[in-house]
Every structure is written in C-alpha cells, then in structure tokens.
Structure 1
C-alpha cells in the first residue's frame, strides 16, 4: 500500500512526534505527584543517566521510562503492529530501540538504580490508569503511599 501523504507531508507529520512531555508522561507524573512522590524531570541526573530516563526519583534511587507501545515494540499490545510497508526497515528500527533500551537498563542497574518501565497503554485512559495506580508503589519498590 502506498503512503497516503506526500514525502513532504510525511516529513512534517513525523516531525510533530514529541520526544518528551507526552500525554502518557504527564499522566504518570500527575499520578506520582498525587501519591506523594517527588521526582525530577529535567534535573541534572535525568540528562546524565544512561538512556535519559523520563522520571527520576532520587530519594528512592529509582528511574522510570515511559515507553510508547509502537516505538518500543510492546508485544501483545493492540497499539503495536509492524507496518505493512517498509516492514524490514521498521523491524530493524524497533529492534534497535529495544536493544538500546536494554543497554540503558543494564547500565542503570549496574550503577545501583532501580529501573521501572511503564508502557503507554497503561496510561492510555482512565480505566488503564485506575488499574496502574494501586500497583505503582509496588513497582517502585515502595509502600502504596509515600506521604
């Protein structure tokens, strides 16, 4: 199937994909803050740690990555499927993202950080967030409420 956009329009559409402050990240940060966690988003540790984590909880020595289901290849997720065009390119791209994620996670663990990955589908809507919220404390290795 041919692309429905011209190359110029496709370039524009792809340039609008944000790298930070995405809706899932904002939803997670709101949830963490409500639960009493304090964290950094653009602090000095965020920029220097391997993989540039989305959220750093220095007090708990924990980092959180919010992975988009498509870009990071969330298996068995309805939001992830390999596109039917340029399949080989997309497989290489997503496998490369997964390999980079694994390298960053291993590097962080070797530095003594607790690493948590939260998929965008767990933050997609209010029903998904209601499922995640009571489990978040356990994922972070902390009691359900920090206050």
Structure 2
C-alpha cells in the first residue's frame, strides 16, 4: 500500500530515489570549484543549533551555497504543481519555499552570505558566480 504522499507504488519508488545530496548539478559545480583550487565543506550545517545544511560551504569566507531543485524549491521557470495528490503536495512544496526563505534569513543573521542557484543553471556560470563572490570576501 502506498504512503499517504504516494499515489502509486511506482510514484513511491521514484520519489524515494531522489537524492538529498550529491545531485548531478551539485557534483558538476563542485568539480569546477575544486578544479579552480577552491576547497569547501559538503552538505554542512554552518549555524550551530540550526538543523539546516547547505550544499557547499566555504567556512572561512562564511558563504553557504545552495543548488535548489526546480520541483522541490519552486523554480519560477520550471516548477510544476502535481495533479495527483495535490492536497498533500501543494502545502509540502509551499513549506519548502518558506523554509528556504527562513534559512536564508537565519544564516544571514548568523553572519553568513547565502548564494542560491537553480539546478538548471549552467554549472560553469554557477562556479564563476561563486568564485567571484569568494574573491570579494578573501
């Protein structure tokens, strides 16, 4: 029997296969940053006591980088609203977006600079923007 959020066993398997970290987009950006000689923490919670993790963290520069999935985080270009089980998914996706804004606020209040990019953005562009941001802090 499917979980309350899954409309079928196939949907359940598909959703459970989604990665929390090391997505294709993250790996591509990390490879480019590493090839430029930059070192960083991966899937790291930079604010003590706050259970929120950034995808890429530059601890000395206090920069937290997020590479957000279009579906999960409400990309203005690619986000879609599920037609099935929308009474579950609508509030779930809205809560993700609200949590993202709250995370940004809390990290910034703790002295961190937050950089957010979408998974569809070109890894080279993201890596260049992160490198430029780092140059401004080091």
User: Shorter-chain TM-score: what band?
Assistant: 0.7 to 0.9
Q: Residues 62 and 113 of structure 1 are in contact (CA less than 8 Å); yes or no, is this contact kept in structure 2?
A: yes
Q: Match for residue 91 of structure 1?
A: 90
Note the 1:1-147 alignment, pairs <5 A.
Answer: 7-42=8-43, 45=46, 50-75=51-76, 77=77, 79-122=78-121, 128-138=122-132, 140-142=133-135
Q: Distance in 2 between the 1:107 and 1:29 partners?
A: 24
Contact 1:82/1:91 (<8 A) preserved: yes
TM-score when normalising by structure 2: 0.80
Q: Give TM-score, length-normalised by structure 1.
A: 0.76
CA spacing shift, 1:20–1:131, aligned 2, 3 Å? closer
Once the two structures are superposed, what CA deviation does each residue of 1:8-51 show, in whole Å capped at 9, x if it has no partner? 22212211111111111111111111222110115574886552
Figure out how many residues of one structure are paired with residues of the other and give that number.
132
Q: CA RMSD in A?
A: 2.6
The alpha-carbon deviation at position 90 of structure 1 amounts to: 2.6
- The secondary structure found in structure 2 opposite 1:134 is helix
Task: Summarize deviations over 1:44-79 as a string: whole Å, max 9, x none.
Answer: 74886552111110121111111001110011x1x3
Q: For residue 142 of structure 1, report the CA deviation from its aligned partner.
A: 1.9
| Contact in 2 for aligned 1:64/1:117 (Cα 8 Å) | yes
Q: 1:125 maps to which residue?
A: none
Mark the runs of 5 or more structure 2 residues left unpaired by the alignment. 1-5
| More helix, by proportion | 1
Greater share of strand: 2
